[in-house]
Structure 1
Amino acid sequence: MNPWTEFVRALTEPLGDHRPPLSTARRPWIRMLPHGLVLLAAASLLPTGIVTLQRFYGVDPALATALATVQAGVLPVALTRPLLAWQLTVPSVLVGAVATHGAAAEQPWPWPVTTLLSYLFLMVFLAVRERGRTLFAVWVVTFVGCSLSWTVFTAHFDGSSVVATALSGVLLLLGWSLRGRGEARRRLAEQERISETERARRTLLEERARIARELHDVVAHHMSVITVQADSAPYRIEGLPPAAVEEFGQIAAAARGSLAEMRRLLGVLRAAGTAPDKAPQPGLDDLPTLLATVGQAGVRAELAVEDGVSALGPVPEAVGLSAYRIVQEALANVVRHAPGAAAEVRLRAAADGALGLAVRNGPPPGRAADRAGAAVETSGGTGQGLVGMRERVRLLAGTLDTGPTADGGYLVTAVLPLDGTGPGPDSGESTA
């Protein structure tokens, strides 16, 4: 942030307490700027005001000193309490107008130069601190006072009241406009942050609902098998005691009830107007077809399966589905952000009988390495990018690591426990 931008931002920052203007700036010299200006103005206006009132208006030295001290001394007060400083200044302006009335016809009245400068300084502090209604009331008081001076004392009118009214109004209007613009920008930034948070939350919920719909098919298959086996057990197994037959009947009834509950849950999760998906859920056996489809999009993807994977035995359907979706999202990001790059999908047997997978892509041809292959978060494709990957890994208590590689590509690695009892995201391993 450049100094001017920081200055304007700190100047329009709302201050609920009695902090001075620019106190929220990061640069120390900007925070000290109001103090330096006030001290310089007060040090200049105090002796100048005393000399001006005595020499050019013939005011008594004691009264001149008192008036100049009040008008210049309230400026430090205006740093934190500008309205109080203005309330102290107004009586001194009235007393000064009475004391200088008719004293010097060639001098401006009722606004000596030092009094006018001090008053305009106050307008600046008021404009950046007070509300619009307060600023309008201050200007109305100024306008009424100046109007009386040029209507009641027409013989002494010299235009200084017009100057005071006009300049104070301009300063108050500019300050109010600047504060309003800053407030509008802050509210817009706050709304953007809220919208971004809500968008991320909605994306997460949508992805979780999608995962739940997919897993419904997996669980429903197993529950259907349980129901059929429990119903047919008395007919397939001879000589079952009545207690066992009754037990199998209860198991079948419980399985059918669970299926009905899952169907109701799926109806809640499914978006309005979304037709149910009749296709079976994909798994590890469908990866070659997925890689062939990606190849048609211009990404050369290869599948490497290490020998230890076969030793894991049958992979649970939920694990196979999650592995497929993670590979699908990673390759979709390669197509989207690194077109033409080469990719490799590797399956391996991880520790504790878990399934490990890695999707690595190189930099796209003809592009600088520092901009290549970024598998960034996306809401397009089949899921929600990295959000979907994290949710699927968290569902299985696994781990996920993503990040750029040294050659400008990108690497996505995941470990999926087959029993769903892995270390999970709370174990200290990376999940992002």
Structure 2
Amino acid sequence: MNPRHWPRALFVSEQPAPVSAAASRHGRQPMLQYSAAAMLTALIGALGIRTMSHGYGVGVASAVVLAAVQSAPLLLAVTRPLQAWWIIMAADIASSAVLFHAPRLEGNSWPWPPAVILGQLVLLVAVARRERRPALVAVWVVLTASGLAIAAASPHNRDSSDVLLAVLGGGILLVGGVLRERHEALQRLGEQQLIAQSERARHTLLEERARIARELHDVVAHHMSVITVQADSAPYRIPGTPAAAQEEFAAIAVAARQSLAEMRMLLGVLRSEDSDDERRPQPGLDDVPHLVEAIARAGVPVNLVLDDGVEELRALIPPTVELSAYRIVQEALANVVRHAPGARTRVEVKLLPDRSSLTVLVANATPQQYSGALETSSTGHGLVGMRERVRLLGGALKTGPTLDGGFQVTARLPLPALPRKETPNT
């Protein structure tokens, strides 16, 4: 050990009190520690008074003062054992000076009385639980040197109590230090294991995201690219294509390109943990009319109702709410196209009167000329995705059939505090 570290090791505790989170929450462990310290203080104090007054012949007043100084710092040992040891060490040295002139020193323990040995051993246990190796070595060196120096003042009265305290104290400090270092090593090992588990889970997640990205690229993106090429080239491959059909093919190509753009953005997010694609502009309420127009071109008559208050307060509506509203309308209209083609549909985006929430409603009636759903199977993932979006925002979602045989989706998305609409005085 480097001697330059001894002064700090003797006076400064290097670690906070080891109190667990549960004990700190309920206050049980500190209460038990202080109760035990109070009982030991009383026991060692009483033993010191009896030993000094009856054994060594010291006056009762002096015995009480010395015993109090030697035992009271045990209460400080609950939180500051090293500082408490220093105080008691100084008190023990002062007590030995008084006992050196005691009337009945011969025949009694010297240089350390039983109460001093007991108090030191109890305090060394607390020091060993808290302090690091340099402090423990410094404590043992000071304790041993003090005992040898005091015993040398009256060698004919020495009964090797200094050696006994040095051996027992050294054993306590050694065992306690080893156990504390082992406990710290196990804690560090546990922390490293948690970090390793977290890294493995993160690596597994990234691998899974990369696999999903590959599947999306190989399947969905490939087919969307084929659709785009076929729609763009159809007027040239099919002679005499009517103008209306050419416009329809052009609309299909535009929709396919938009889907490909969103797909590429999603692939970038999946493949990169810190992708800039997540910061690109996301669809919002401004895109709902374009979405409705595209669905109308697919043969679904859609009536859009966009509240004037929504347009007025667009700047105050969070982007997450706008994106969720757009995705809910998009998924609901896609379900109409798949399961009720040609059904008259109503889309409403409104603010509640108190402006606390944004309401999104998509309702379709029964198709007048029902020729069967375009898709006969359904996974239900669309409704699950809508519920997850609404749940993340703390809103509510209702889905189900209507009385006229159609289907309705209603979502309520909470908003931050918006300015209330002023009403004219009457």
TM-score normalised according to structure 2 size: 0.53
Aligned to 2:327: none
Instruction: Work out the CA distance in 1 between the residues paired with 2:65 and 2:80.
Output: 21
Instruction: Work out the CA distance in 2 between the residues paired with 1:53 and 1:148.
Output: 21
Note if 1:46 corresponds to 2:45: yes
Instruction: Work out the CA distance in 2 between the residues paired with 1:109 and 1:147.
Output: 11
The one-letter code sitting in structure 1 at the alignment partner of 2:132 is: R
- What is the CA distance between 1:67 and its match in structure 2? 0.9
Instruction: Work out the CA distance in 1 between the residues paired with 2:152 and 2:119.
Output: 24
- What is the CA distance between 1:161 and its match in structure 2? 0.5
The one-letter code sitting in structure 2 at the alignment partner of 1:164 is: L
Q: Name the CA shift for 1:117/1:208 in 2 (closer, same or farther; >3 Å).
A: same
Instruction: Work out the CA distance in 1 between the residues paired with 2:64 and 2:242.
Output: 116
Q: Deviations over 1:270-309 (max 9, x none)?
A: 9xxxxxxxxxxxxxxxxxxxxxxxxxxxxxxxxxxxxxxx
- What is the CA distance between 1:240 and its match in structure 2? 8.8
- What is the CA distance between 1:31 and its match in structure 2? 5.4
Structure of larger gyration radius: 2
- What is the CA distance between 1:231 and its match in structure 2? 3.6
- What is the CA distance between 1:80 and its match in structure 2? 1.9
Instruction: Work out the CA distance in 2 between the residues paired with 1:92 and 1:62.
Output: 16
Instruction: Work out the CA distance in 2 between the residues paired with 1:101 and 1:179.
Output: 38
Q: Name the CA shift for 1:60/1:145 in 2 (closer, same or farther; >3 Å).
A: same
Q: Name the CA shift for 1:75/1:172 in 2 (closer, same or farther; >3 Å).
A: same
Instruction: Work out the CA distance in 2 between the residues paired with 1:21 and 1:239.
Output: 79
Q: Deviations over 1:210-244 (max 9, x none)?
A: 11111112221221232244245334344899xx8
The one-letter code sitting in structure 2 at the alignment partner of 1:234 is: Y
Aligned to 2:83: 84
TM-score normalised according to structure 1 size: 0.52
The one-letter code sitting in structure 2 at the alignment partner of 1:206 is: E
Give the conservation status (yes or no) of the 8 Å contact 1:22–1:31. Answer: no
Aligned to 2:106: 105
Instruction: Work out the CA distance in 1 between the residues paired with 2:271 and 2:84.
Output: 63
Aligned to 2:159: 158
Aligned to 1:219: 221
- What is the CA distance between 1:78 and its match in structure 2? 1.4
Aligned to 1:73: 72
The one-letter code sitting in structure 2 at the alignment partner of 1:130 is: E
Q: 2:387 aligns with which of 414, 423, 430?
A: 423
- What is the CA distance between 1:131 and its match in structure 2? 2.9
Note if 1:234 corresponds to 2:210: no
The one-letter code sitting in structure 2 at the alignment partner of 1:136 is: V
Aligned to 2:333: none
Identity within the alignment, %: 31
* Aligned-CA RMSD value: 4.4
Instruction: Work out the CA distance in 1 between the residues paired with 2:180 and 2:109.
Output: 33
Matching of residues 25-424 of structure 1 within 5 Å = 32-101=31-100, 103=102, 104-151=105-152, 153-216=154-217, 217-231=219-233, 233-238=235-240, 269=271, 355-356=377-378, 397-399=382-384, 422-424=386-388
The one-letter code sitting in structure 2 at the alignment partner of 1:37 is: A
SS at match of 2:148: helix
Q: Deviations over 1:23-61 (max 9, x none)?
A: 838998765442332222222222221121122222233
Give the conservation status (yes or no) of the 8 Å contact 2:23–2:29. Answer: no
Give the conservation status (yes or no) of the 8 Å contact 2:70–2:116. Answer: yes
Aligned residues: 274
Instruction: Work out the CA distance in 2 between the residues paired with 1:116 and 1:22.
Output: 34
Q: Name the CA shift for 1:89/1:215 in 2 (closer, same or farther; >3 Å).
A: same
Q: Deviations over 1:79-124 (max 9, x none)?
A: 1222221121122111111222264222111100011111111111
- What is the CA distance between 1:20 and its match in structure 2? 7.0
- What is the CA distance between 1:193 and its match in structure 2? 2.6
Q: Deviations over 1:365-419 (max 9, x none)?
A: xxxxxxxxxxxxxxxxxxxxxxxxxxxx9xx5453xxxxxxxxxxxxxxxxxxxx
Give the conservation status (yes or no) of the 8 Å contact 1:149–1:157. Answer: no
- What is the CA distance between 1:165 and its match in structure 2? 0.9
Aligned to 1:334: none
Aligned to 1:371: none
Instruction: Work out the CA distance in 2 between the residues paired with 1:73 and 1:220.
Output: 82
The one-letter code sitting in structure 2 at the alignment partner of 1:90 is: M
Give the conservation status (yes or no) of the 8 Å contact 2:70–2:88. Answer: yes
Instruction: Work out the CA distance in 2 between the residues paired with 1:172 and 1:354.
Output: 78
Give the conservation status (yes or no) of the 8 Å contact 1:21–1:34. Answer: no
Instruction: Work out the CA distance in 2 between the residues paired with 1:98 and 1:144.
Output: 16
SS at match of 2:111: coil
The one-letter code sitting in structure 1 at the alignment partner of 2:36 is: L
Aligned to 2:409: none
Instruction: Work out the CA distance in 1 between the residues paired with 2:21 and 2:225.
Output: 67
- Structure 2 stretches lacking a partner, 5+ long: 1-12, 273-336, 340-374, 398-426
Q: Name the CA shift for 1:356/1:198 in 2 (closer, same or farther; >3 Å).
A: farther
SS at match of 2:130: coil
SS at match of 2:56: coil
Give the conservation status (yes or no) of the 8 Å contact 2:111–2:162. Answer: yes
Aligned to 1:343: none
- What is the CA distance between 1:197 and its match in structure 2? 2.7
Q: Name the CA shift for 1:48/1:31 in 2 (closer, same or farther; >3 Å).
A: same
Give the conservation status (yes or no) of the 8 Å contact 2:140–2:170. Answer: yes
